[in-house]
Amino acid sequence: MSMLYPINSTSRRAVSLNGLWGFRTDPKSEGLACGWQHGLPAPDSIPVPASFADFYTDKETREYCGDFWYQTEVFVPEEWQGKRVSVRFGCATHLATVYCNGVEITSHEGGFLPFTADITEAAHFGRENRIVVRMNNELSETRLPCGATTVLPSGRKIAKPYFDFYNYSGLQRNVFLTAEPRESITGYSVRHTLLGADAEVAYEVQTNGEHAVTVELADEAGNVVAQAAGRTGVLTVRDAKLWKVRDAYLYTIRIRIADGERVIDEYAEPIGIRTVEVRGRQILLNGEPVYLKGFGKHEDSDIVGRGFNIGVMKRDFELMKWIGANCFRTSHYPYSEEIYQMADREGILIIDEVQAVGCFESLMNFAEASSGKRTAFFAKETTPQLLAHHLHSIEEMIERDKNHACVIAWSLLNEPDTTDPSAKPYFEAVFAKAREFDPQKRPRTFALLMNSKPGVCQCHQYADFLSLNRYYGWYLLGGAEIELGEAAFRSEMDAWQEAVPDKPLIFTEYGADTDAAYDKLPSTMWSESYQIEYLEMCHRVFDSYPGIVGELVWNFADFQTTEGIMRVGGNKKGIFTRQRQPKRAAFYFKERWESLPLDYKA
Ligand code: CKX
C-alpha cells in the first residue's frame, strides 16, 4: 500500500475530509450485527482530527474502551471516473475497518500510522457516499502499545495501559479523499552521498505500471538542478546546499510517469540532502559531530487530546527554537506526518519512535523502574503475534518517514524488558528489519529503562547508539538524598563507559515532575526550584562524560496520563505547561542550550 502523503498535482487530487463526523460508542459490539456499517443510528457529532475523550462531560464516554464508530458523507466528483479514489487516514487508533456505502473496504491495525481505503469500486461517482469506520481502542499484549483491558462487573471495559500516557483514541489525524491515476507512483526513496561540494541523490521509484519514469530535482528558486530517467538512478547536484541543523535547505523532487509527452502521474515533495551516521562515540550529520539538545515529546494538548492541531504544532516548534533545542524523539509513537514536514523545514532533528511501548508488565513502568524486578515479557505465548505486529509497524513507519531529512534515527522500543535472555531473538528480529527496510541505513536505537543496566541488560548490543532513560534524583534517591542520586548516577555511567566504550550514548529521558508556579525555599520535590536543581545535577553528570552526546529531557510539556496515585492531572515533567507556557526550568535550558555548541564533545 502506498504511504505517500496526499498531494495535488497535474494528476492527483487531495480533498480534506476534516470537520464534523458522526460518532457512536458501541459497548456491546452490536453495531455490525445491527447494520451500522450502512449508517449510524442517531450519531453524535464529533470533530476530526481529534481524540474523542476530552470533549465529553461524562466519565463513561471519556474513559470509553471498546468498539466505536465514525461516519461521514463524501461527494465523489463525476470527473474522477477512471481514477483510483481512496480515503486516506493519517491514523485510526488502534484498530479500524472502513466501509463505503455499506461495503467493507479494508482494515488496519496500529493506531499511529496511515492507511488508505480504496473505494473506487464501492463509490458512486457524481453523488454523496457514506464512509463508516468501525474502530476499537482496547489494549492487549499482542498489539502495540501494550496493555490490558479489564471488564468491570457492569460489563464496562477499562483500558489498563502498561505505559504512562492517556489511551487517547479516534480519528486523530487528517483524513483526505484522494484521486490518483490507475497507473501511479506508489513510493520512492532517496539516499545521499556527499562528494566534496557536490552530492549524489540515488533514488528508487515504485510504480504499479510499465510506463517510463523520470525524476528531477529543483532548488528553492524552482530551477531544475538535476534530472534522470528510469526507476532507479542518480541525481548529481553540483554545489549542493546541504540540509543542516536549524539551517534547512529543501530541494523539490518531482517524479513523473509519462507516455511520450503525456504525463500519466506526477508526485512532488520537498527533500533535504544530508547524510547521517554513527562513528565511534559521535553522531555525524554531513560528516560533522552533532550534540543533541531537546526533548521527548507527546502529541498531547487540551480538549483535542492526541488530535493533530496545526496551531499547537506551530507553537511547539517556536518554543523549541526559542529554547535552543535541535532535536526531539517522537515518544512513544510515530507522530502526524505534518510534524515531520515542519521539522524538515525548520532543521530540527527527529529520533522516530515506533509505538513499541509498554513491553514491560506493569501498570505504569515507572513503578517498577528502580525495583530491579526481572520479568520475561518476550517469552510469552503471545510474543510471536506481538513481534509480527511490531515488525509490520516498523515497516510502515519506515516506509512513511524514510525520505525525511529530519529523521536521523529509528527508536524501535521504549523501555522494554531486556533483563531476560528471551528478549534477544525478539530484538535481533526488530533491529534486523529496521536495517532491511531503511534505504538510508540510519542508526537504530531503543530507550533503556532504569532496570536495563550494564551487566543486566541483554540487548543493548543491538543499538547503534545507546539511549538511556534515567531518573536518579527523581524516582530514585531524590529530594534531600539527591547527592546519593548523583553518586549512583555516576557509578552507572562509569559502568556504561567501560561496557560500551565505542558507541555514542544519549539521554532520551531524565526529568522531575514539577507543579508550574509552585515553589519552595528551600526546594522540595515537585517545586520549580527542585526541577532546576535536579537538572543541574544531571547536566553535571552529562558534562563529565565525553561519550554522552545528547540530552533529550522528559518532557517538552506536561501531558495527560491515566488517573492514579502517582499523577495529579497527568505527568508534570514538562519544561512547558500543557498550555505551552514556560516553567522556570525553560529559562535555565535556554541559557544552557544556547551556550552549548553544535559540536559540543567533538
Ligand atoms: N519513562 C522510569 C516512560 C515515559 C514516562 C516516564 C515517567 C517514564 C519513566 C520510567 O513514558 O512518562 O514516568 O515520567
Per-residue cell: 398: 519506515
Task: Say whether 509 is catalytic.
Answer: yes
Task: Say whether 200 is catalytic.
Answer: no
In the block, residue with C-alpha cell 521509484? 205
pLDDT digit string (tens) for 178-229?
A: 999 999 999 999 999 999 999 999 999 999 999 999 999 999 999 999 999 9
Torsion of CA 417, 278, 329, 467, to 10 degrees: 30
Q: What is the distance of C-alpha 498 from the center of its chain?
A: 32
Task: State residue 1's pLDDT score.
Answer: 79
Task: Evaluate whether 573 touches 554 at the Cβ level (below 8 Å).
Answer: yes
Q: Return the ligand 1 atom nearest residue 471 CA.
A: 2
**Residue 132 CA: distances (Å) to CA of 70, 103, 165, 281:** 6, 9, 28, 51
Residue nearest to atom 2 of ligand 1 (CA): 366
Residue 216 CB neighbour total at 10 angstroms = 18
Q: Is this model's pTM higher than 0.95 or not?
A: yes
Q: Return the ligand 1 atom nearest residue 365 CA.
A: 10
Q: Which of 216, 266, 299, 415 is catalytic?
A: 415
CA count, 13 A, side-chain hemisphere, 227: 4
Residue nearest to atom 9 of ligand 1 (CA): 366
Q: Return the ligand 1 atom nearest residue 513 CA.
A: 14
Per-residue cell: 208: 504499479
Instruction: Specify the 3-state DSSP secondary structure of 352.
Output: strand
Q: From the CA of 365, how far away is ligand 1's center (Å)?
A: 7
Q: From the CA of 222, how far away is ligand 1's center (Å)?
A: 45
Which residue, among 64, 60, 70, has the nearest Cα to 91 in the 3D structure?
Answer: 70
Q: Return the ligand 1 atom nearest residue 369 CA.
A: 2
Q: Find all residues with CB under 8 Å of 481, minimum gap 6, and list them.
A: none
Residue nearest to atom 7 of ligand 1 (CA): 366
Tell me the C-alpha distance between 272 and 287, whole Å: 15
Q: From the CA of 298, how far away is ligand 1's center (Å)?
A: 12
Residues with CB under 6 A from ligand 1: 163-164, 332, 365-366, 369, 415, 450, 469, 471, 475, 509, 554, 571, 573
Task: State residue 372's pLDDT score.
Answer: 59
Q: From the CA of 256, how far away is ligand 1's center (Å)?
A: 46
Residue nearest to atom 5 of ligand 1 (CA): 164
SS3 sequence of 526-569: ECHHHHHHHHHHHHHHHHCCCCEEEEEEECCECECCCCECCECC
For every residue of 110-137, DSSP letters joined together read -TTS-EEEE-TTTPPTTEEEEEEEEEE-
Residue nearest to atom 12 of ligand 1 (CA): 164
Peptide bond into 555 cis (omega under 30): yes
Q: Ligand 1: which of 365, 559, 561 to mutate, most ligand atoms within 8 Å of CB? A: 365
Task: State residue 360's pLDDT score.
Answer: 86
324: left (phi over 0), alpha (psi -120 to 50) or beta: left
Helices (H), 264-336: 310-323
Residue 330 CB neighbour total at 10 angstroms = 26
Instruction: Specify the 3-state DSSP secondary structure of 422.
Output: coil
Tell me the C-alpha distance between 449 and 445, whole Å: 13
Tell me the C-alpha distance between 198 and 195, whole Å: 5
Enclosing H/E stretch for 252:
strand 251-259
Task: State residue 361's pLDDT score.
Answer: 72
Going 499 to 502 to 507 to 508, the CA torsion angle's sign is: negative
Tell me the C-alpha distance between 326 and 573, whole Å: 19
Residue 62 CB neighbour total at 10 angstroms = 15
Q: Return the ligand 1 atom nearest residue 561 CA.
A: 12
Q: Ligand 1: which of 295, 332, 366 to mutate, most ligand atoms within 8 Å of CB? A: 366
Residue nearest to atom 11 of ligand 1 (CA): 164
Q: Which of 138, 368, 509, 528 is catalytic?
A: 509
Peptide bond into 404 cis (omega under 30): no
CB neighbour class for 228 (10 Å; exposed up to 12, middle 13-18, buried from 19): middle
* Ranges of the chain with pLDDT below 70: 362-375
